[in-house]
Each structure stands twice: as C-alpha cells, then as structure tokens.
Amino acid sequence: MDVSPQQTRRPLRRAFQSAELVLVGNFNPAIIRPSWLARNGLIPDEEADAAEITLLRPEYAGFSIGWATIDVRFDRFAVASTDESQWVTLRDLLVGVFALLDQTPVSAMGFNLSAHCQFAEEEALDPLLSKLSALPAVWKSWIDRPILRQQKVKGARPKGGGTEYTIEVQPSVVVERALFFKAHEHYANESEDVGVVLDILQSEWDGFFEHSIGTFEAVAYDWISEAE
Amino acid sequence: MSTAAQRFAGEPNPGLAGGPSRFATSFLRPSPPSLEGTPAELKPTDSEFKVSDPAPIKSVVALPAPPRSSPERFDLLQQFVGTVLDVGEETFSARLQDRTDQSRGSEIAEFDLEEVSDFDRDLVQGGAVFYWSIGYRISPSGQRTRVSRIRFRRLPAWSRSDLRDAEQAVEIWGYMLDDSE
Amino acid sequence: MHPLEVSVFGPGVGECVLLAPRPDYWIVVDSCRVDGVPVALRYIEDQGHDPAAVVREVICTHWHDDHHDGIADVLRRCVSARFWCSAALRSEEFLTLAGSARRQYDKKHGVDEMAEVLKIIHERRAKGVRAAAVGPQWADESKRLVREPDFSLWSLSPSAATLTRAHNEFAELVPKLKSPKRRLAANEANDTAVVLHLETESHGSVLLGSDLEIQTDPTRGWTAAFSSFRGQGLRRAHTYKVAHHGSKNGHAPEIWDSMVEPTPTVLLTPFRSCRLPGIEDLKRIRQAHEGATYITANPRGAKPRRRSNSVEKTMRMVSSKRRLERTPGGQLRVRVRADGTRSVEMIGTAFEVGTAETA
C-alpha cells in the first residue's frame, strides 16, 4: 500500500537537544562573571550565587548557571543550553550582554542546533540506512559493503539572512532508533558593529529554529519513505 | 589507525553540547575560533590534508572543554510570551502570544502572583515581559514531571547611548512641532 | 445624493472608524488589523476604491497602541492623506518617546507605530509636500479640521488644560538613564484623546467618542468637550461611537442629554483586555437613550482553541479567565440618506445589543 509519509507520520521525539549561540570577535573574558551578569540585572542574584564555575581566568571564563553554559575566550563568546524552554532566554542573555558591551567588535555570529530525532518503536531505522543514496561504483571497488553514514548539505536558509546554512545528519550513536542532526547558520559582519548582529539575532533566532526542526523532520521522514 | 578510518570511526560522541570530549584540541595548540559546534569537537576535515605550521602558543593554561549544563532534560510542549497588563494584590493579568503555534491569536489570562519565582517578583509590573513554558522535566533516571515555568525577561536598562539616540528624534523631527495650518 | 457612510470595526482589541461624507472623501479614524492587514485598507479596496485616491484624512485619536495598530501602513498607502493627531503629542517629550522606539527590544512596545508615522511624514516633507497637505496637524478643542462645502469635521478635545498635564505625563514616560526598558502599558492619559464631530449639510451629524473619559476637573475630559461642542453651536448627533468602549468613566451625562439625539444609533467596540463593555455598562448605555445599540463583537471573547490535554490541564492549573483577545471581529455599517433615514448592517460578529446581552 502506497501511503504518503504525511499519512503515516508519527511525531519524532527530539532528545538531547542543544542550542548554541557563538560570536567571533575581540572579547574580554575577565569581565564575564556570574556576579557581573547579576549586577547588571541579566540574571537573578540567586542564579549567580548558584553558578558552577569551571574556570575563571583573564583569558577564559567558563561557567554554568543551571539552564545555560557560558564559554568566553579572547576571540570567541558562546552561550549554550540544552533546555528548549530557555532558548529564547539565551538570546535575551546575549542581547543583554552586548547591549552593555556595545563597543565590542564582533566579526561573525553562528547559530547551532543539534538534536537526536528518535522514531517511534514501529519504525525500523537500521534496515533503511542500507538503502540510502546509491553510491558510485568506485566505492565498492575499495570498500566492502560501503554505506553512506553522514550527509552534510550546505546552502542558504530560505527567507533567512545568513551567508551560509548547513545541515548534517548521521545515525545517532547515543540514542537508539534515532538520527543525529546538526544545523548551523553563519552570519558575517564586515562592519564589526555588535549592534548589527544583535538586530540579526533578534530577527532570525526563532526562524532558524523553526526551519531547522522542520528540516530535521522532513529529512527524517524522507529517508523512511525513500526506503519504503 | 588509517586516516580514512580516523575520519569516521573517530566521530566525537554527539551527546550533550558542552560535554567533555575525547578530542580536546586546545592544549598547547589553540584551534582557530570556530562557529560550528564547541571548540573541542574534532573536525575531521581540518587535519586531513592540511600541512600547517604550529600556531603560536597563546596560553600555557590548558583551556578546558566547555562546562556541562544540567543533566536533566526538559521536553517543551508549549511556550508563550506574555506582557503584564495589570497587577493586583494577588493576581496579575497578561496578554499571551503563542510561541509554539504562531498562527494562534493572542489571549488574555489571569495568574496568581504565587506562580512567579521570588527572584522575579519585583519585575511584575505593567508592560513587563515574561515567558511561560509548559512541558515535562525528565530526570537522569527517567522520572517525568509535568512542569509550568514563568520566567521574566531581563534586559539592560536604558543606557546613555540609547538616550542620546532617542533625543536625536527631537533634532530630526522637531520642526514638525512648529508647523501650523 | 450619495448616502453618508459610517463604518466601525472592532476585533476585540483596537478599533477603526471610517467616515465617507462623499464617495471621493474618506476619513480614516484610528486603525486596527485583522489577519495582519489594516481593516481600513482592506475595506476601502473591497468597495472598489483606491485608498491612495479617496482617503484624504488619517486621524489618530489616541496614542495608545490599541488605536493605531497599522496606522503607519495606512498612511503609507494613502499618499493623498493628511495626518492628524492629538495636540497633546505636540511636544519634544513625545518626540523623544517616539525616538526611543528604535532602542527598544520589542518591535511592538507602544509608540513604535507613531515613530513610523513620523518617518513617513518626514520623507514626504523632504520631497517638498507642505505641512498643510501631509501633516502632522494637531487636533484640540474647538478646532475645525476639515471645511468642505457640504461638511465639516471638528475636534472637541483635548482641552488646553489637558495639554499642559499631558506634556508633564509624557515627560514621566520618557526613558531615564538606568530605568528598565518595558512595553508602555496603555492605561493612562485618556484625556488626551480626540473626540470628533462630523457635521454635514444634508445628512446630519456623527459623534466619535474615542477614549475620552470623565474628569473631576471641568476644564478637562467630557465637560470640556461639551463646552467646546456648545461653543461651536454644533448639532446633536444621530450616530454615536461610544467613548472608551462603554466604560463607566466614558459615560458622561452631557453626551446623552445634549450631544446626541434621543433616538441615536449607538455603536460600540469591545476592549477585551479590560473586559469592556461589561454587562452593567451595556445596561447603562441602553437605558441612556431610546435608539438601538450595536457592538462589533462579543466583549467576552471566545475560548481559545484547545491544545493537547497535558497543556490544557496545566494551563487551567496555573491561569484563569483565559480568552482570545482578538477575533476577526465585525463591522457596523451605518448608511444615512438625505431624508434622514438610517440603516445599520451588522457584518461578521457584529450584533445588536438586546436584553439577552444585559441579563
């Protein structure tokens, strides 16, 4: 029976998701401390007091405030969270920090999202993987039983503003019956004006997630229907 | 192990972002700033065919992998962004916009002030913005608990440069105040 | 002779009134959107007209965002229109407030729409269009906004006493160093609202109450507006758009005793965020006159569409009195013929308020 993916589609369960916002530029890790965030009203005092510090040095600041991790080096500023309910707060945190440090030169920004998308029990993923994209014959001459294990597709997000949008997919080695997806969007900032990236962040962050999760699901179901 | 085998067999464990990696590359030879993934993730193509001079040592301190976040998970079912309309003695009313399904129209609702964390109570004022998230918290052992969270947005206050920018409006538009028919 | 048309739109939050004293002369009073589009533009186009050609005045009676959602888009489209707003906004403090829109974190925070309007006017003025043709023009008490051979449009408020207070109030709203950035809550300063009176040669008069409220000070609010009305010798209106969504504070005795006819056509728009009009409000309004009362949509609002069981259960535990703020809403279209007869069409969710609604 020929049934379209939409008709047979069960929701994918996303596990172990992580969102990360990365800026590249010139930063001063010595400033970024839980107490500094609290003093400037960006996080509650209670979160600052309960922060787990990895290392605080003039050249590096790394700590966790429960729902987010902050990692700051001279040339890289990253905030990440595995709690989907806080991804919007992650954006606010970065906007807040750089509204205060508004003279910081920032040359690029990256959005990252990764997730393991698990299929419902009835879906048989393993047999499907062997039927994926035909490989050129040359591979079979040099590798026995070759299988394509990872796809990485680069382009531009429709209606997005980034210079590059990349999606990677491969079988998950952490979650059973799952595919591991990673999405990345790159924004170059020639002016190095942090205000420009903050405007982009506020207008594109939600769209990046919505589109990336939609792509994960579409690709995942496409792999099944192709195999069927 | 051959280069080809390294390429795929050596895939980093794509578990929780920020988790410790077997492939910390920052010791002694800091990698160039990466926008993709955490800096500790091995990028197989980086070392594949490149013959590079050793980069200058920037630090004698081994920079650690980024810190882990909480091992608990949160499966988000629904999220709203709310704007406080009115605050009473024990309740506040708010306009809610659905972030999960943006095709839905805005709603009005009333909340008990008790639903707001102590550290956010002072933020409950007319015009204040908050996020209301509903989902399941899953402990490392798999225990599921249904959760509702209200968190108020915290953003910096008005700065000098903000105010200078606002005052420029008078310089640009001020002539309109002098017009008369 | 073409009938006079008065159309009132109210989707639950926000309102828009269209006056068409002539087919080639439309006046847009305030703005709201349905499905993202300003209702004024959609309606005028649906009637087969080009808004760029027929809309001659765009009036923002009140700076609160429920009165001007989409008004910048309306003005941008209506290239022949002149823009009016309350003279209470004629201050450096308000310009600073509008200028602060760019530095806010949210796109919709209260004055962003007005900031867009000022940009559009600035662009047109830079191309040489005169102030008298594009605006902004400032409406206050006893001012004739439009003088045509067959009709005049008057503003009856804000009063001079209100203007002074308003400038001080805006000064308080202007951002201060280190104060938190918040959305402006639309609760105060209703006495800066512009009440409009359309007086026609052959089709009677129409009164639009905006959000003006009663004040204890007789030099402000409805008492001052009534003085303005009487001072100009204006005629009582046969059609009245009720002030402040039917609230008790918008219910001035002078309106019913002296400013509208004994059997008027009374038009209401709901404001669900404040639960207006309530049942007592509707009772009071119906008892104040002998005509018929209409409303564009149910003030209580519909229940939102159900979400999943888990989400619904949790929402019920944590919140109460949840209602849709905005529904597509309805339209009340009044057509007045030269012989004085009036017809009212109730379109969409609009209905006549009867005893069932006030029980």
Task: Please tell me the predicted confidence (pLDDT) of residue A146.
Answer: 78
| Tokens at C152, concatenated | 């005049």
Is residue C333 within 8 Å of C5, Cβ to Cβ? yes
CB spacing of B158 vs C96 below 8 angstroms:
no
Mean pLDDT, residues C193-205: 96
State how far the Cα of C98 lies from the Cα of C136, in Å rounded to an integer. Answer: 14
Task: Please tell me the predicted confidence (pLDDT) of residue A106.
Answer: 97
Nearest residue in B to C93, CA atom: B170
Say yes or no to pLDDT of B2 above 50: no
Residue A36 lies in a domain: no
Q: How far is CA A42 from the centre of its chain?
A: 23
List CB contacts (< 8 A) between A80 and chain B: 17-18, 38, 66, 69
Closest in C110, C273, C308 to B85, CB measured: C273
CB spacing of A76 vs B17 below 8 angstroms:
no
| Domain interval for residue A106 | 11-27+75-227
Mean pLDDT, residues C69-74: 94
Is residue C32 within 8 Å of C228, Cβ to Cβ? no
Task: Please tell me the predicted confidence (pLDDT) of residue A161.
Answer: 77
Whether ipTM > 0.90 holds is no
**φ/ψ of residue A64, rounded to 5:** -120, 140
Among positive and negative, which fits the CA dihedral A52, A55, A59, A62?
Answer: negative
The B129-138 sheet, strands edge to edge: B144-152, B129-138, B73-87, B91-98, B107-112, C319-324
Say yes or no to pLDDT of A132 above 70: no
Task: Please tell me the predicted confidence (pLDDT) of residue C34.
Answer: 86
Say yes or no to pLDDT of A148 above 80: no
pLDDT category of residue A15 using cuts at 50, 70 and 90: confident
Return the closest-CA partner of residue A109 out of A204, A14, A207: A204
pLDDT category of residue C238 using cuts at 50, 70 and 90: very high
| Tokens at C80, concatenated | 């022949």
CB spacing of C95 vs B107 below 8 angstroms:
no
Rounded to the nearest 10°, the torsion over CA C168, C173, C179, C180 is 170
CA distance A93 to chain C (A): 12
State how far the Cα of A183 lies from the Cα of A167, in Å rounded to an integer. Answer: 4
Q: Give me the count of residues in chain C.
A: 359
Closest in A41, A55, A69 to B154, CB measured: A41
State how far the Cα of C27 lies from the Cα of C22, in Å rounded to an integer. Answer: 10
Q: What is the pTM of this model?
A: 0.78
List CB contacts (< 8 A) between C105 and chain A: 95, 202
Nearest residue in B to A209, CA atom: B100
Q: How close are the terminal C-alpha atoms of chain C, in Å? A: 42
| Tokens at C9, concatenated | 């739109």
Say yes or no to pLDDT of B176 above 70: yes
- CB of C48 within 8 Å of any CB in chain A? no
- CB of B13 within 8 Å of any CB in chain A? yes
DSSP H helices in chain C: 39-46, 51-54, 71-77, 92-99, 112-126, 131-134, 160-173, 221-231, 253-254, 279-287, 309-318
Task: Please tell me the predicted confidence (pLDDT) of residue B107.
Answer: 92
State how far the Cα of C352 lies from the Cα of C337, in Å rounded to an integer. Answer: 21
| Tokens at C43, concatenated | 């309606």
Lowest mean pLDDT among A40-54, C71-85, C161-175, C222-236: C161-175
Residue found by looking up tokens 């000070």 in the block = C217
Lowest mean pLDDT among A216-225, C75-84, C268-277: A216-225
Lowest mean pLDDT among A68-72, C150-154, C215-219, C297-301: C297-301
| Domain interval for residue C141 | 4-177+184-358
Task: Please tell me the predicted confidence (pLDDT) of residue C356.
Answer: 67
**φ/ψ of residue C304, rounded to 5:** -65, 155
Chains in contact with C, counting 3 or more C-beta pairs less than 8 Å apart as contact: A, B
State how far the Cα of C117 lies from the Cα of C98, in Å rounded to an integer. Answer: 10
Task: Please tell me the predicted confidence (pLDDT) of residue C281.
Answer: 95
Mean pLDDT, residues C83-96: 92
CB spacing of B127 vs C100 below 8 angstroms:
no
Lowest mean pLDDT among B144-148, C19-23, C95-99: C95-99
Say yes or no to pLDDT of C5 above 90: yes
Gyration radius of chain C over CA positions: 20
- Mean pLDDT, chain B, integer: 71
Task: Please tell me the predicted confidence (pLDDT) of residue C36.
Answer: 85
CB spacing of B70 vs A24 below 8 angstroms:
no
pLDDT tens digit sequence for C277-288 = 999 999 999 999
- Mean pLDDT, chain A, integer: 86
Cis geometry, peptide bond prior to residue C158 (ω within 30 degrees of 0): yes
Cis geometry, peptide bond prior to residue C21 (ω within 30 degrees of 0): no
| Tokens at C105, concatenated | 């974190």
- CB of C105 within 8 Å of any CB in chain A? yes
Q: Which helix (H) or strand (E) holds A181?
A: strand A178-188
Q: How many Cα neighbours within 13 Å face the side chain of A186? A: 16
Higher pLDDT, A129 or A217: A217
The number of folded domains in chain A is: 1
Higher pLDDT, C189 or C181: C181
State how far the Cα of B4 lies from the Cα of C260, in Å rounded to an integer. Answer: 88
Say yes or no to pLDDT of C187 above 60: no
Task: Please tell me the predicted confidence (pLDDT) of residue C174.
Answer: 84
DSSP state of A40: T
- Measured CA angle at C29 (ends C117, C243), to 5 deg: 125
DSSP state of B56: P
Mean pLDDT, residues C190-209: 94
| Tokens at A218, concatenated | 């579409």
State how far the Cα of A96 lies from the Cα of A89, in Å rounded to an integer. Answer: 10
Say yes or no to pLDDT of C148 above 90: yes
| Tokens at B172, concatenated | 């640009």
Say yes or no to pLDDT of C137 above 60: yes
The number of folded domains in chain C is: 1
CATH number at residue C346: 3.60.15.10
List CB contacts (< 8 A) between A77 and chain B: none
Q: Which amino acid is at C350?
A: A
pLDDT category of residue C111 using cuts at 50, 70 and 90: confident
List CB contacts (< 8 A) between B129 and chain A: none
Say yes or no to pLDDT of C164 above 50: yes
Mean pLDDT, residues A55-74: 95
CA distance A35 to chain C (A): 18
Higher pLDDT, C328 or B141: B141
Gyration radius of chain A over CA positions: 21
Task: Please tell me the predicted confidence (pLDDT) of residue A18.
Answer: 92
| Tokens at B84, concatenated | 């406080």
Give the orientation angle of helix B160-173 with respect to helix C92-99, to 10 degrees.
120
Say yes or no to pLDDT of C345 above 60: yes
Lowest mean pLDDT among B1-5, C66-70, C119-123, C342-346: B1-5
3-state secondary structure of C114: helix
Mean pLDDT, residues A163-187: 89
Residue A210 lies in a domain: yes
Domains identified in chain B and CATH numbers: 1-69 (no CATH), 73-152 (2.40.50)
Chains in contact with A, counting 3 or more C-beta pairs less than 8 Å apart as contact: B, C
State how far the Cα of A61 lies from the Cα of A70, in Å rounded to an integer. Answer: 7
Cis geometry, peptide bond prior to residue A29 (ω within 30 degrees of 0): no
Task: Please tell me the predicted confidence (pLDDT) of residue B181.
Answer: 45
Q: How many Cα neighbours within 13 Å face the side chain of B105? A: 22
pLDDT tens digit sequence for B16-64 = 233 333 332 222 233 445 566 543 333 333 333 334 445 444 445 555 5
The C292-295 sheet, strands edge to edge: C143-148, C151-155, C196-200, C205-208, C237-241, C260-268, C292-295, C351-352
Is residue C341 within 8 Å of C265, Cβ to Cβ? no
Q: Which amino acid is at C218?
A: P
Report how many Cβ contacts below 8 Å link chain A to chain B.
158
Say yes or no to pLDDT of C130 above 60: yes
pLDDT tens digit sequence for B63-115 = 555 555 456 778 899 999 999 988 999 999 999 999 999 888 889 999 999 99
CA distance A124 to chain B (A): 22
